[in-house]
Every structure is written in C-alpha cells, then in structure tokens.
Chain A
Amino acid sequence: MSIVRPYGDTTGDGMVQVSFTLPLPHSKVAEGAAAQLAHKMGIDPALVVHAKAMGPDFTFFVVYGRVNHLVDTDKVDVVERDYPLLTPKEVNAAIKSALRRRLTVVGGCIGTDAHTVGIDAILNIKGFAGEKGLEYYRELKVVNLGAQVSVPQLVARAREERADAILVSQVVTQRDAHLHNTKEMSAAFREAYPSDKRPLLIVGGPRFDERMAGELGVDRVFVRGTTPGEVASYLTHMLVTNRKKVPA
C-alpha cells in the first residue's frame, strides 16, 4: 500500500493529536484561535480538548482531530544512511579485531572560528543527544586541538599522530568562511599526503549541505543534529569494515 493517512483507532480515520502554545491569555478567543490554527493545519474537525493558562500571557492547547492529507510512500524522498549504525561496543570490537591498534582521530575548529561546541559535542566524552563522544570509545584515540587551529598546524599534528581521520568543525559562516576554510584544509591534506595515505577528511557544522562533500574535497559532510555514534559508525565503516575503498 503506498497511500497512507494517520491511524487513530480505525483504518483511514486520519486522526492526529497536536499540542502548542499561543501567546494569548486564556479566553474564548484564545480557544477559537487554537481551533482555527488547527483547521489551517488541515485538521477538520478539530477538537480543542484541553486549554490551560500558563501565566497571564500564554495558553497551552491540546487538539485532537482528523487530517485530510494523504501521503504516497512512493513519493517520499529521503537520503539513506549508507553505513550501518553501530554501538560503541561494536565499534570498539570492529577496530580491535581488524586493525589491532587504536584508530586515531584528530579534530579541531580551523580558521578564526572559536566555536568548539560542534567538535566538543562529537569528541568530548560528555557527548551530545544522550550519546557519549568519541573519547568514550576505548579503541579511538582522540586528539582535540580545540579552537582557532591553523591548517598547517592541523596537518602537522595529523602527521605526528599518524591520524586515520580528521574532523573539522565550522560554525561561523560569515562570507562563506566555512566553505573557504574547508577547501583550504582539504587541499593542504592532498598536498601533504600521497593519495593512498591521506587520512579520511570529515567536516561538520550547522550550515553545511550534505551533498557538498565532493565540491569541498572532503570525504564526508555532517550536518546539524549529527551524533557521535553516527560519526563513529561512519569512521568504522570507512576505515575498518570497508577499508580498501577509501577514495583517493
């Protein structure tokens, strides 16, 4: 079946439940406004089942109702993850049995970007979204260079550490700084390494487009919401499980 609609308690009933807040004092008008909003969202009939004042200026609503929208699953467009998601245990086990050494990851923020929030979320043990950072993985050696690392510094440290992968985070996007910095970085690595020895290059940040990897000269672009587990799984996929296929 390729046409679907929400399921409440009967096939095809189209029932959904939503909750939201309006910046209005609780009143008849506020409840009417909530119903109207629900209508405009395609909920018809819309049942405002709960309305509660939150302080003098806001009201919280719960609305149940039927939506008239249909979804054709054949026309759903998604970018599928092309590597399996592994648990930290599986990542450790895969590295240990295949490489017999720890995998080294060197990371940092290049250029004048001082926002380590992204790189720290991925690397620091504290992690992100309930997942521990790469430091937590026993078989990963993490070197976090922090903020404002120059490209030559990054390359030098990568050589010194015999890095398997480079993780670069870019938050600041003024005058496309994130794109320029990334291109400079990937060019420097291509220059410094023979093509078969080059570490895996990964860049991440909230304003990147996942499809730009080729243009930027990196192996992978990660976008907002990427978790450490996804990065670890990708590293394992590229450097352990699928090792021979590392692109030049």
Chain B
Amino acid sequence: MRGKLDLDPVVVRKARSLARQAGRPIVNLARKHTTVSVERATLRLAGLQGADADGIPWVNRLLDAVRGDVGLEHGVALPVWDALVRGEADDLAVLAQKASAGSVRFRLPEGRDLTRARAAAARQVGAGVKRIDARRRERDRLVKRHGDPAQQPWIYLIVATGDIYEDIPQAQQAAREGADVIAVIRSTGQSLLDYVPEGATREGFAGTYATQENFRLMRAALDESSKELGRYVRLTNYASGLCMPEIAALAGLERLDMMLNDSMYGILFRDINPIRTFVDQRFSRQVHARAGIIINTGEDNYLTTADAVEAAHTVTVSQLLNEYFAKEAGLEDWQLGLGHAFEINPDLPDSFRMELAHALLARELFPKAPLKWMPPTRHMTGDVFRGYLLDAFFNLSGTLTGQGILLVGMMTEAVVTPWLSDRDLALQNVRYVLNAAGNLHEDFVPRPDGYIVQRANQVLAESIDLLEKIIAHEGKHGLLEAIADGTFGLMRRPADAGRGLDGVAVKAPGYLNPATDILEARS
C-alpha cells in the first residue's frame, strides 16, 4: 500500500539509509566513551539510593571517590565491587559512606580479583535489570486488566505545580476528565543539575523535580486512578539533561510508561556537550528499550525556534535520526513517540493544509510509530479565545492524520500555568473534536498531486538534501560537525564545548559496565 501521500518507497528507503549513514559514526563514538551519569546509573541499577546530609546522592559521592582514585575511564563497576569483595564494606550504601569519608582506597583489580569483582558486579547490577523486567511485566498485566484508552490518539496532559502532593490530586482529576497519559513537567533547570535530587519534593520552578520518590508516589496514585476508571493511565517524565541515564534507570525501576528522550535536544537547547549527550542518550535508550517505555522525541522544539514552514524538513530529518538511534539502542517501532508540532503561523494562507501535509508525512513515513502531536505554542498570543480555536484545529488535524499521542493544548498557553478550568475546557475541546470528527480520517484522502501531497513530498525531498549535506560534512563524524556548524535550530554546538564535558571519558582497555553488557546482550 502506498498510503495517502503516494510516497515513493525508493525515496523513503533512501531517507532511512542516509539517516543510518549520518548516525553510525555517532554510535561508534558513543561506544568508545562513558560518562559520570552512565556510571551513576549503573550504581542505581545495583540498588544504591539515598543522599548525604547535604542532599548529594550517594551515587555521586561514591563515583567521585572512585574517579579520584582510579579515574572514570575503567568504569565504576570493577573498583567498586573489588572493594566490596575485599570486604571494605558490607554493601554499597556503607561503601559510599566510607568512600566519601575518605576511608576506602579504590584500585583496579587484576587476575582472580578481577574475575571475582566482575562476577559480583554482574550479579548485583543484573538484579536491578531483573527488577526493571518485573516492572515491565507488571505493566503488561495492569494494561491487560484495566485496558488501553478506547480512542486514538491517546490524550496527554501536563501537570506542573512544583509540589508532588499538589500534583497528585490534579493528575487524578485530569485522568477522571479523560487524560490517558499524565506528564509531570520538571522544574526549570533540573536538566542542568549533575545529580538527581532525592525524596518527595514540594518546591519547584514551573515544574516538579524528577526524583525516584516522586516517580513512585505519582505512579501509585495513577494505579489507583487506573483501577477507578477501568483504563490504564500512563505516566510520563523527562529523561533529558545531564542525568538522563540515571533518570531512565529510575523510570524503569518505578514503572513509568513514557519518557521524553531526544537524541539532540540537550545539545541544541541546553548547550550540553554533544558527546556527553550522545553517550548518555544511547544508554538511556537501551534502558527504555528494556523497560518497555515509549520514548517521546522533541522535534517540536525546532519549530519553536525556526519557522515551521521553512524548517519543516529539519523535523523530518530529526525524526529519521531519532528513529535510527532508537532502533540501534534496541527500541521497537511501538516505542517511538516521534514528535512534531502544530506551529505554522495561522495568518499564512493554507496554513492548515500545510499542517495536514506535515502531519501526514510523519504518519506515513513512520507507519508503526505512535507519533506525538504537540499543540501550538509559538502563535498563542494571550488572546485565549483565538487560542481555543487554534487548539481545535490542532485537535482536528491530529485525528485526521492518525496521530498516536495528542498533547492537549491550553488556551492559556504563554499566559499562566493551566488553571483547573483551562484544563477542563481544553479536554472538552478534544472530546468534541474527536467525537464530531469520528472516523473522518477514513474519508480524508488528499487528492493525488494536490497541494497536500505535493507539499509532503517537497518536505521529504528537502529532508534528503539536508541529510546528504550532513553526511558530506567534512570530518570524521559528519553529524557532529554539522551540529557544530549550526545546522539545527541555528545553534552552533562544537563537540569540545558545552556543559558536562568534564564528565566524559574515553573508555580504557578493560572497561567494564555490567549494565551495558546485559542491555546489549538481548536479541
């Protein structure tokens, strides 16, 4: 079947093959490096939790001590489990305390010591991965018991008060009113923290901190809601920023269902070092793959900085790259919530037609992926009445083009954080449009060679041009150089700059990470 846009399968294959060519050198680069956050995630999988009196997590304390003694490049596993096997401490928590007090010296074990340390590390980290497996089976069971949402797209709603105990009743109320997916937005600035805060938190800035305890509390609350409502209500958070591998591990351990996880967002929009990001990305995606988590990519962000018509193809290119990186890390099609957004200037003629063309292009290019459809933000002016109308058109395009996950737009976007009534009105808007349009998508078949078909094919052609340009870029890692040159979102991000660079190391011979070994051993 050639679909509604009559995309040429040869061209589509070419686009995928170019994305693979652009992505492969990055994967090779990622394999050769490790980061502080990857190593801390490994410790978290092994069960190390909690923080010291200053609120610095024990995983940070322990890793810093290991790094001080033997460096980062061998990985944290061998020196840590060597110390445990030697009897320096009974468990990881005590070892972390002793290490931060300076009373343990770490070394690189050799010979039989190495064999024993490796086995002990594999056992304990493996137990963490098994816990993630168990949480995944638990989700499968609950989805079977309570059921999936009756309609497509799934309705995705954000809560963000800063206080987890305020978020919980809001999230439960949103679920009652029809939300299928609840996202707890993170506090501004968390992406730049090089540690994951601990415990239940009641103070955040325009969002609530992502912590293991907050994850646990919200998941438990939504389990109650799922039971009450007879459908499984999913929970989303953000595996992005400097700690994305750790957050991914915590999400797996606490049975979160979706995670925002984009291959380049941190580089472009948070000025995080590109190598740090790609290494952290790969590990976090491997964890998500294992945990059965659906990732949501961040292409919508390109359109908040660049023009949604001129830059439409950068969205497609990013989707293709995200797909390649995701599959390489073991994610399956049903886990790829590739993003895009309704951000074309509504004053342009045919703006809605173009939105339909772009949305349909994503749909047909990635037929099995549950696409994430993001509402207008850039052209929400504070005129809430006009915003409400725009959101209705956004909803209509979502149902017409078969989007998988619809982030509910708020008419008060850019005015206030959503009020109770804003959310209620927004959900009424969604319900009306989905109900009124019904199965209209069956009848919506753009005219062959009409405006929509032509526009979609044009964007695909521009995407191929851009991918070819990236690959032709000078240097070993075309994509890395392209990012340095400002190809995406107009930002120049050289590989030797950006935040978190000091947390990156080239792996030494004999580097060991039992988590990576287990995650890569599947298949």
Looking across the interface, which residue of chain B has its beta carbon closest to that of A142?
A: B271
Q: Say yes or no: A117 contacts B188, CB within 8 Å.
A: yes
Nearest chain A CB to B225's CB is how many angstroms away? 13
Q: Say yes or no: B205 contacts A117, CB within 8 Å.
A: yes
Residue in contact with A144 in the complex, picked from B188, B271, B380, CB distance below 8 Å: B271
Looking across the interface, which residue of chain B has its beta carbon closest to that of A21?
A: B421
Q: Which of A126-134, A215-223, A236-244 contacts B (4 or more CB under 8 A)?
A: A126-134
A54 to B425, CA, bound (A): 10
Q: Say yes or no: A117 contacts B490, CB within 8 Å.
A: no
Are A135 and B420 also in contact (CB < 8 A) when A55-B177, A124-B271 are? no
A33 to B264, CA, bound (A): 52
A159 at the interface (CB under 8 A from B): no
Residues of B within 8 Å of A136, CB to CB, are 305, 490
Residues of A within 8 Å of B173, CB to CB, are 55
Q: Say yes or no: B421 contacts A125, CB within 8 Å.
A: no
Which residues between 472 and 490 of chain B lie within 8 Å of chain A, taking CB atoms?
A: 489-490
Residues of B within 8 Å of A153, CB to CB, are none
Q: Say yes or no: A146 contacts B378, CB within 8 Å.
A: no
Q: Say yes or no: B192 contacts A132, CB within 8 Å.
A: no
Residue in contact with A117 in the complex, picked from B189, B270, B499, CB distance below 8 Å: B189
Q: Mark A91-122, 1 if CB is under 8 A from B, else 0.
A: 00000000000000000000000111100110
Residues of A within 8 Å of B491, CB to CB, are 125, 135
Q: Mark B366-395, 1 if CB is under 8 A from A, else 0.
A: 000000000001101100000000000000
A117 to B205, CA, bound (A): 7
Residue in contact with B489 in the complex, picked from A125, A129, A144, CB distance below 8 Å: A125
Residues of A within 8 Å of B425, CB to CB, are 60
A147 to B192, CA, bound (A): 10
Residues of B within 8 Å of A129, CB to CB, are 414
A36 at the interface (CB under 8 A from B): no
Are A146 and B380 also in contact (CB < 8 A) when A55-B176, A126-B269 are? no
Count of B interface residues, CB-CB < 8 Å: 29
Nearest chain A CB to B429's CB is how many angstroms away? 14
Q: Say yes or no: B269 contacts A124, CB within 8 Å.
A: yes
Nearest chain A CB to B173's CB is how many angstroms away? 6
A130 to B413, CA, bound (A): 9
Q: Say yes or no: B304 contacts A126, CB within 8 Å.
A: yes
Q: Say yes or no: B177 contacts A120, CB within 8 Å.
A: no
Residues of B within 8 Å of A60, CB to CB, are 421, 424-425
B301 at the interface (CB under 8 A from A): yes
Nearest chain A CB to B319's CB is how many angstroms away? 20
Which residues between 118 and 171 of chain A lie within 8 Å of chain B, taking CB atoms?
A: 120-121, 124-127, 129-130, 132, 135-136, 138, 144, 146-147
A19 at the interface (CB under 8 A from B): yes
A144 to B188, CA, bound (A): 16
A117 to B499, CA, bound (A): 16
Looking across the interface, which residue of chain B has its beta carbon closest to that of A55?
A: B173
Residues of A within 8 Å of B206, CB to CB, are 117
Nearest chain B CB to A215's CB is how many angstroms away? 27
Nearest chain B CB to A222's CB is how many angstroms away? 17
Q: Say yes or no: A132 contacts B420, CB within 8 Å.
A: no
B444 at the interface (CB under 8 A from A): no
A83 at the interface (CB under 8 A from B): no
A58 at the interface (CB under 8 A from B): yes
Q: Say yes or no: A130 contacts B269, CB within 8 Å.
A: no
Q: Say yes or no: A120 contacts B188, CB within 8 Å.
A: yes
Q: Say yes or no: A19 contacts B305, CB within 8 Å.
A: no
B268 at the interface (CB under 8 A from A): yes
Are A146 and B419 also in contact (CB < 8 A) when A117-B206, A124-B270, A130-B378 are? no
A115 to B377, CA, bound (A): 24
Residues of B within 8 Å of A19, CB to CB, are 421
Which residues between 11 and 39 of chain A lie within 8 Å of chain B, taking CB atoms?
A: 19-21
- A115, A127, A130 — which one has the most chain B CB atoms within 10 A of its CB? A130
Residues of B within 8 Å of A138, CB to CB, are 490
Nearest chain A CB to B207's CB is how many angstroms away? 10
A20 to B378, CA, bound (A): 26
Residues of B within 8 Å of A146, CB to CB, are 192, 499
Residue in contact with A116 in the complex, picked from B176, B192, B490, CB distance below 8 Å: B192
What are 30 pairs between A and B in contact, CB < 8 Å?
A19-B421, A54-B177, A55-B176, A58-B420, A60-B424, A60-B425, A115-B205, A116-B188, A116-B189, A116-B192, A117-B188, A117-B189, A117-B206, A120-B188, A120-B189, A125-B269, A125-B490, A126-B269, A126-B304, A127-B305, A129-B414, A130-B377, A130-B378, A130-B380, A132-B305, A135-B491, A138-B490, A146-B192, A147-B189, A147-B192
List 18 additional contacts besides A60-B424, A117-B189; criterion CB under 8 Å: A20-B421, A21-B421, A54-B424, A58-B420, A115-B189, A116-B188, A117-B205, A120-B188, A124-B271, A125-B269, A125-B305, A125-B490, A126-B304, A130-B380, A135-B491, A136-B305, A136-B490, A146-B499
Give the 8 A-B residue pairs with the shortest CB-CB distance, closest first: A117-B188, A54-B424, A117-B205, A60-B421, A21-B421, A130-B414, A116-B189, A126-B269
